[in-house]
Amino acid sequence: MIGLRQVGPGEFATRLDAVLEIYTAAMNPPADQLSGRKTIMGNHAVHPGFTCLFAERSDGMPVGVAYGFHGAGGQWWHDVVHQAMAELYGEGSARGWLGDALELAEIHVHPDYQGKGIGRTLVTGMCAGRPERTAVLSTRDQPTAARHLYRSAGFVDLLTQFVFPGGYERYAILGAVLPLSG
């Protein structure tokens, strides 16, 4: 049986290796990116409104993780996406989606546990009861199970074919009005 457990920034920081293991299994990133990814993840824990959920087996082993925080100017992802949206749709639209948003930074389920509803439970759990007006995230711009899950939870495309500075993969930026309707 898999259960959800909320963890605070302190425990998240001490369990970064487990978080990184799930991320690596789910995303298969190049090995040379893992050290930098771990640093970025650790830095996210100090953002305002940081929340993390672990999906854990009965023995306490995490098999899924989701975390996010209140997005704000000065945060890299927020600023990059805000600029792209403002250029494409205008400042008002960018502010409307990002001005009071829960930024879902990472949502991953170990491949051995995918297809069991854990991802949906993590997404809905992260968004439940949040004070923000919207939730936003980025995901690979491909017809993946994750993309389908986000759409079925009420997320819509805000940007597609988006390449982050310094990157090469194409992402979709998605947003949903809270509470989730899907």
Q: Give Cα separations from 104 to 65, 90, 132, 134, 140 (angstroms).
A: 11, 23, 12, 11, 14
Give the full edge-to-edge strand order of the sheet including 171-177.
Answer: 3-7, 51-56, 62-70, 101-109, 134-140, 171-177, 156-162
At 121, list the tokens: 């439970």
CA dihedral 31, 35, 38, 40 (to 10 degrees): -110
Catalogue all structural domains in the chain, each as residue range(s) with its CATH number.
3-177 (3.40.630.30)
User: What 3-state class would DSSP assign to 69?
Assistant: strand
pTM of the model: 0.96
Element (H, E) at 101: strand 101-109
pLDDT at 107: 98
Residues in the chain: 182
Mean pLDDT, 10 residues at a time, over the chain (182 residues)?
A: 96 96 95 93 96 97 98 97 98 98 98 97 97 98 96 98 95 98 78
- pLDDT for 181 equals 87
> What is the distance between the alpha carbons of residues 130 and 112, in angstroms, rounded to a whole number?
30
